[in-house]
Structure 1
Amino acid sequence: MTLDPTVKAILEEMEKQGLPGLEMLSPEEARVNRRIGTDDGQVVEEVNRVENLSFESEGYTIPVRVYQPEGTTPQPVLLYFHGGGWVLGDLDSHDPVCRRIANASQSTVISVEYRLAPEYPFPAAVYDCYNAVYWVREQAEILGIDKERVAVGGDSAGGNLAAVVTHLLKERNETLPVYQLLIYPSVDFTKKYPSDEKNKEGLFLTGEAMSYFRKHYLSQKEDKFNPLASPMVRDDVTGLPPAHIITAEYDPLRDQGEAYATRLKEAGNEVTYIDYKGMVHGFISMANLVPQGAEALTEVGRALQARFNEVKAGK
């Protein structure tokens, strides 16, 4: 399929603005640009309760935002890890996304503002997200959530973190999340895939941008081989919770996302894999302009709700 016309128009408008590429900016400058771009007139859905809280992780205070739709409590919960290449992003950048998922799933969503690189390089973000799972379970009664129905998810770098945290919990023989939501995740720093070359220029996430993120996140060359950075290289991928994996046709990360879905499925895990045709990396954050972005978030919410209902029924 050709590039979606609406997405194409968005990319053309971005090019007209003549903004410098990430490789020309410091992380601080890139974050300022990202915050400016966050306020783009997105439709922000109302959610019954939205509250900013925090927890402690390795001596640092980690902000979180709780989105709780109407309904009886305790509610199941999705811990959401935002995208942004481990360098960008915060609670505000993914606020509209989390609101949509909370309403569509009729479940609580808790967004986690983990520490960013290069100030806090790998594996700081991993352990912040891992500790978030513990915090949620410990505070379940106060938060009004069901600690037996905890899912993890995220987009891009956040999808990476969700996958990694799931493996880490399994490795330590701890209670697994009941579901993992991986939206165009980065899962393999160790090799190039065909889509890395095919989709490396002019499609929102570029090859140069990925190099920029990798340089700032992984401070040591050998880090890319660590399964806490590249879950694709983990020897054992059996016994994982059901996964919902989304890729975009015109995304450098597309092929590694598909390869990860295939590997999980071949290892006997339950996997739903959807490749959104005509879409680019980041399309769920364009949901106010791109119908497929809104549709994807609605579908994610329904799938999440269905899984939570299965767990409640003892399946």
Structure 2
Amino acid sequence: MRALLESLQALRPSPIENLSPAEARLQPSLADATRHRLRATGQSDAPRALAVVRDLEIPGRGGMMPARLYSPVDPSASGQVPQAPLPLIVYFHGGGFVIADLDTYDSSARALAAEAQATVLSVHYRQAPEHKFPAAHEDAYAAYMWALGNAQSLGADLTRVAVAGESAGGNLALNVALAAREARAPLPVAMALIYPLAGTDMTTTSYRDNAQAKPLNAAMMRWFFDQYAASPADLADTRMDVYGRAELRGLPKAIIVTAEIDPLRDDGQRLAARLQESGVQVVRQDYAGVTHEFFGVNPLVLGRAGDAQRFVAGELRSAFALPAPAVVIPARTGAATRIR
């Protein structure tokens, strides 16, 4: 982890909390540092190979949204033996609702597809400050409902759909399940919540202990909150202060990953406790010696990343293996999918 952070520092990132959002979106990420580290050690920095990686555009609340489809199997390949549709994971990337995109978190989506043997739909969404709360949350739910309505065309099984996300994306995945419960829409069979942003209390022990951590620190989190929230009331909303204010009963299995060197570590711990108190099945793993954003790192660079990827994928496979619920297919949206 130290060597990887040194590779990140070698790329000369500027403190995001001192930048404009446009400038922040141009800063090197841990994904860039991973490629730097692989090259420095004489290894290939090529992305993990999959049978299908295809860019799409799907309808969101504010218009068409970039998305990317990943699959370990190409059903259209010549000579491919027909098989049952794969499970589907609807994945939301991190970035504090402000920065990052599909490319930044490409390795996480590839790992989930390969390790869980599932189709992954990775979804971008409107970002702040151009689009304030709850724009990202509205887009995430729209993407989930679109995925349910179009599962067959994606080569996926409608009865085996999970949601997953990292950091802010973990918040979005959790809120997709909450919104589906409230709308009496089909629930995901599981939620993979990777160091999720689950509250807005910045006085927790992990915020204090990791106030100066990299690649995420307390000042960055304050900056993210300031960019996304239009007012203090937004931060008190149940979609942001989830462990403090949301009703969590009736949610599906939660798979929670936390990192030791992360301001959001206590968010995951508090969320796990609240979910268990609410009767929700929770499996949680905390990874020592690693930082926020470690999950998507190439395991050749960081072995703990491979451990976490296999843990999440194994728990997802267990959820997918349970008897399928009866699901009513939602009506399709009027907007067409675009393949780019």
Q: TM-score band (shorter)?
A: over 0.9
Aligned to 1:290: 302
In 1, the alpha carbon distance for the partners of 2:323 and 2:105 equals 27
Normalising by structure 1, we get a TM-score of: 0.92
Counterparts of residues 97-136 of structure 1 (less than 5 Å): 97-136=108-147
Q: CA, structure 1 residues 36+49, in 2 after alignment: closer, same or farther (shift >3 Å)? A: same
In structure 1, how many angstroms separate the alpha carbons of the residues matched to 2:325 and 2:240?
35
Within the alignment, does 1:66 sit opposite 2:90 as a pair? Answer: no
Describe how 1:1-315 pairs up with structure 2 within 5 A: 7-15=1-9, 17-34=11-28, 38=32, 40-41=34-35, 42-70=45-73, 72-190=83-201, 192-288=203-299, 289-312=301-324
CA distance in 2, matches of 1:35, 1:263: 32
- Residues 221-276 of structure 1, C-alpha deviations (whole Å, 9 max, x = no match): 11011012222133421111000001001111101210110110121111001110
Question: How big is each residue's C-alpha offset from its partner over 1:189-226, in whole Å with a ceiling of 9 and x where there is no partner?
Answer: 14521111011113321111111111111121110110
Between the aligned partners of 1:237 and 1:36, the Cα distance in structure 2 is 32
SS of 1:152's equivalent?
strand
Deviations 1:143-176 (A, max 9, x none): 1111111111100000011111111111222211
Over the aligned positions, Cα root-mean-square deviation in angstroms equals 1.9
Secondary structure in 2 matching 1:62? strand
Measured in 1, the distance between the counterparts of 2:31 and 2:296 equals: 11
Task: Identify which range, 218-227 or 187-196, moves more after superposition.
Answer: 187-196
CA contact (8 A) 1:114 1:128 kept: yes
Change (3 A) 1:195 1:98: same
Q: CA deviation at 1:107?
A: 0.6
> What's the offset of the Cα at 1:52?
1.1
Amino acid at match of 1:46: A
The letter for the 1-side match of 2:276 is K
Change (3 A) 1:37 1:46: closer
Unpaired stretches in structure 2, ≥5 consecutive residues: 36-44, 76-82, 327-340
Aligned mates of 2:325, 2:86 — CA distance in 1: 14
Distance 1:206 1:39, change over 3 A: closer
Q: Which structure features the higher share of helix residues? A: 1
Answer yes or no: is the 8 Å Cα contact 1:118–1:216 preserved in 2: yes
AA in 2 matched with 1:76: P
CA distance in 1, matches of 2:215, 2:100: 15
Alpha-carbon distance between aligned partners in 2 of 1:255 and 1:35, rounded to the nearest angstrom: 23
Letter in 2 for 1:233: G
Residues 85-114 of structure 1 deviation map (CA, whole Å, 9 limit, x = unaligned)? 111111111111111110101110110011
Aligned residue-pair number = 308
Tell me which residue corresponds to 1:3: none
Amino acid at match of 2:102: L
Aligned to 2:39: none
DSSP-derived class of the 1:265 partner: helix
Is this contact kept in 2: 1:114–1:129, CA < 8 A?
yes
Offset of 1:36 from its aligned partner? 9.9
Question: 1:244–1:273: 8 Å Cα contact kept in structure 2?
Answer: yes
Residues 115 and 39 from structure 1, CA distance in 2 versus in 1: closer, same or farther, beyond 3 angstroms? Answer: farther
Output the amino acid matched with 2:236: F
Within 1, Cα distance between the matches of 2:70 and 2:246? Answer: 36
TM-score by length of 2: 0.86
